[in-house]
Amino acid sequence: MRKKNSKRKTNEEVRWPRLMSIETVSAYLELPKTKIKELDIPTKKFGKHVRWDKNDIDSFVSSIENSAENEWTVAIERNRNKL
């Protein structure tokens, strides 16, 4: 019988798809889906399907990571305080 590997993969170990659903973006950014919808990240529509491009997400994060007081920081702190 094989042992289960209980080690959880980190964000760096996961291969994220180029186009992501809201659920995948939520997991990638570790934010709730409602917060993802509030962020100003461009989306792409394929019929009724909405997708976020990983490159756009990464650019968005890079553009705000140097700002000490921003919505991103507040959202992360709020989620940490709930834990």
pLDDT tens for each residue of 15-72: 999 999 999 999 999 999 999 999 989 999 999 999 999 999 999 988 875 555 566 6
Residue 11: band (very low, low, confident or very high) from pLDDT cuts 50, 70, 90: low
Yes or no: say if 44 and 50 are a contact pair by the CB < 8 Å rule: yes
Regarding pTM above 0.85, the answer is no
What is the arithmetic mean of pLDDT over 3-25?
78
What SS3 class is residue 64? helix
Yes or no: say if 33 and 21 are a contact pair by the CB < 8 Å rule: no
H or E segment and range at residue 19:
strand 19-20
Yes or no: say if 54 and 16 are a contact pair by the CB < 8 Å rule: yes
- Maximal CA-CA distance, the chain: 51
Looking at residue 20, its pLDDT comes to 97
